Amino acid sequence: MSLSETDIQAIWLTLRLASVTTLLLLLVGTPLAWWLARTRSWLKQPVAAITALPLVLPPTVLGFYLLILLGPNGPVGSLMLDLGLDTLPFTFPGLVVASMIYSLPFMVQPLQNAFSAIGDRPLEVAATLRASALDRFLTVVIPLARPGFLTGIVLAFAHTVGEFGVILMIGGNIPGETHVLSVAIYDHVEALDYRNAHMLSAGLLAFSFLVILLLNLVNKRTHQGLGQ
């Protein structure tokens, strides 16, 4: 019972992809979620709908459009070529971009719920104590929204680990670059190598179970009922 070098490489690649994606989503998702939670603009509902799209869209649709959009004949791809950059499909940065889109709602929605639940009152109190906007965010919002952050981080990470359809469409199956865990399992099954497929699948099952268990335990302990 030992994993092949390619499989170990796939596991590391998957963890790296999930970590980078989650970190970037935290940076992009926090202001977006904050805006969604506070704004009264008519744009709120359309933006919220776009954010939620990856929940409903089949990953193959996303992957298919990304392949066309990011390819050298697509608008984004040709722009990148004009700028002297490499196109994104079949590269690790390409997978990060795809994963960020794919896991966006899993980060934004728990955060948005957490931010909404805080309400105006704590922020107004902090403002009367002369806390600046940044100060209010760092010392009031973040601690109060902690369960939301935790839920967002864990879900975005786990969802990226399980990503398959999008990566299959734009990955090109390159070891160390785009050959992630879910694709490795798929390849093993297709090649009738059920032994290795079982090993990786069982590992992923255990991982998923632990993630959800942990999340539930932590959320129960904080008793906030925030997030999902």
Q: Which residues bind another protein (CB under 8 A)?
A: 67-68, 71-74, 77, 87, 89-90, 168-169, 172-174, 186-187, 189-192
- Is the CB of 9 or the CB of 116 nearer to another protein? 9
The nearest distance, CB 196 to another protein, in angstroms, is 12
The nearest distance, CB 190 to another protein, in angstroms, is 4
Closest CA to 106 of 156, 162, 57, 142: 156
- Is the CB of 67 or the CB of 111 nearer to another protein? 67
Can you tell me the distance from the alpha carbon of 29 to that of 107, in angstroms, rounded to the nearest whole number?
A: 6
Q: Where are the alpha helices (DSSP H) in the chain?
A: 5-38, 44-56, 59-70, 75-82, 92-118, 121-128, 133-136, 142-144, 146-161, 165-170, 181-190, 194-222
- Is the CB of 173 or the CB of 228 nearer to another protein? 173
The nearest distance, CB 59 to another protein, in angstroms, is 14
The nearest distance, CB 137 to another protein, in angstroms, is 41
- Is the CB of 67 or the CB of 126 nearer to another protein? 67
Which CA distances in Å does 17 have to 92, 126, 161?
8, 38, 8
